[in-house]
Amino acid sequence: MLLEAAGRPLVPVNIAVPMPGPGQLLIRVHACGVCRTDLHIVDGELTHPKLPLVLGHQIVGTVEASGQRVGVPWLGWTDGDCRYCRSGRENLCDRARFTGYDIDGGYAEYAVADERFCFPIPEGYHDLQAAPLLCAGLIGWRSLSFAGDAERLGLYGFGASAHIICQVARWQGRRVFAFTREGDEEGQAFARSLGAEWAGSGAPPEELDAAIIFAPAGELVPAALAAVAKGGSVVCAGIHMSDIPSFPYELLWGERVLRSVANLTRRDGEEFLALAPLVPVHTEVEEHPLEAAGEALARLRSGAVRGAAVLRL
C-alpha cells in the first residue's frame, strides 16, 4: 500500500520484493501496527518522508534467510558516531533514518531492515498482539520512564500507547487517571477495565504527580500542567502536536517539568520487550487486511479504534 504524496489516499501497487544490502534482512511481514505517526505523515505534518513511501514502523515478520521472528521499530538506522550516538542518545541521532518514513516500512508483504535495529519478539505473543508493542509500547515505555516515580499518573488520550502503558503502570503499583475525548464513555470504560481508577475528560478528582500526553492536541499541555502537583512532570509522547496555546507562568512554576519524548533507543526496546511478558501486557487489537490500510487510518483518525489497529498479511 503506497503513499505517493501527502494528502493522497494509499494505493495498492505491485512493487518488486526489496533486495537486502549488506547487514540487512529481508523480512516476510506478518503484521504491521498502524500508528498515529502514520497519519501525521499522510497529512504532511511530518514534512520530509521519502516518496513514494511504504508506511509502517511496527513490523512483525520472519527473516526469509533464517526463519527467525523479528520486530522492526521506528528507529531504522543511526550513524553511531555523532555526539548523540556517542552519549547513549541514539534516539536523537543527527542522521537517524526511520522506518516507514526514510525507509520503506511494513504496509507491504516484504520489508528490508538493518539487522542491528531489529528485535526478537517475545515468545507467547502472536504476531498481531506483538506489533503494537513496537511503537505504542516502546514510546510509551520511554515516556513512562520520564514520569519518574510518580504515583498518580495521568494518561491523556487513551489509544494504543496508553492502553499498554496503563497496564505497565498498574503493575508497577501506580494509580492511573485516564483522559479521553469528551463523551467517550466506551473509551473511559475501556480504561477502567485496564485498571485506571478514574476516567473522564475534565479535571481529575485529585492532583497528579505526572502526566503523559499521547493525544496530538496542544491545548492538553496547559490542562495537564494545571493538573500536576508541584514538582510534577508533563511528558509529550507524540512526534507532532498542534500548537500549544500560551499559558501563565504560574502553571509551570513550582518546579513543574514539561518535556517531549523523541523516538526510541535500542535499549528502550530491549527493556520493554523483556518486561512486556512479565506484566504481562495484553494488547487489544483491531485487525485489518493490508488492502484496508486506508480504512484503518481513517478509524484511527476518528478515535474509533479500541486499543491498537494492526494490518494482517
Which residues of the chain form contacts with Zn ion (CB under 5 A)?
35, 37, 78-79, 82, 85, 93, 135
Nearest to Zn ion of 45, 79 (CB atom): 79
- The whole-angstrom separation of Cα 59 and Cα 100 is 10
Q: Give min distance, CB of 292 to Zn ion, in A.
A: 19
- CA 178 → CA 192, 253, 255, distances in Å? 8, 24, 23
Q: Are 257 and 234 in contact (CB under 8 A)?
A: yes
Q: Say which amino acid occupies 91.
A: N
Q: Are 4 and 52 in contact (CB under 8 A)?
A: yes
Q: Give min distance, CB of 288 to Zn ion, in A.
A: 16
Q: Give min distance, CB of 1 to Zn ion, in A.
A: 16
Nearest to Zn ion of 132, 222 (CB atom): 132
Nearest to Zn ion of 79, 109 (CB atom): 79
Nearest to Zn ion of 82, 244 (CB atom): 82
| Angle formed by the axes of helices 266-275 and 136-145, nearest 10° | 100
Half-sphere exposure in the Cβ direction for 283 (13 Å, CA):
28
| Angle formed by the axes of helices 160-171 and 136-145, nearest 10° | 50
Q: Give min distance, CB of 183 to Zn ion, in A.
A: 26
Nearest to Zn ion of 78, 265 (CB atom): 78
Nearest to Zn ion of 79, 287 (CB atom): 79
Q: Give min distance, CB of 79 to Zn ion, in A.
A: 4
Q: Which residues is 294 bridged to in the sheet?
A: none
Q: Give min distance, CB of 85 to Zn ion, in A.
A: 3
Strand 198-200 versus strand 175-179 pairing type: parallel
- DSSP per position, 33-45: E--HHHHHHHTTS
Q: Give min distance, CB of 265 to Zn ion, in A.
A: 11
Q: Which residues is 113 bridged to in the sheet?
A: 25
DSSP tag of 301: H
- CA 190 → CA 187, 199, 259, 305, distances in Å? 5, 9, 27, 11
Nearest to Zn ion of 138, 251 (CB atom): 138
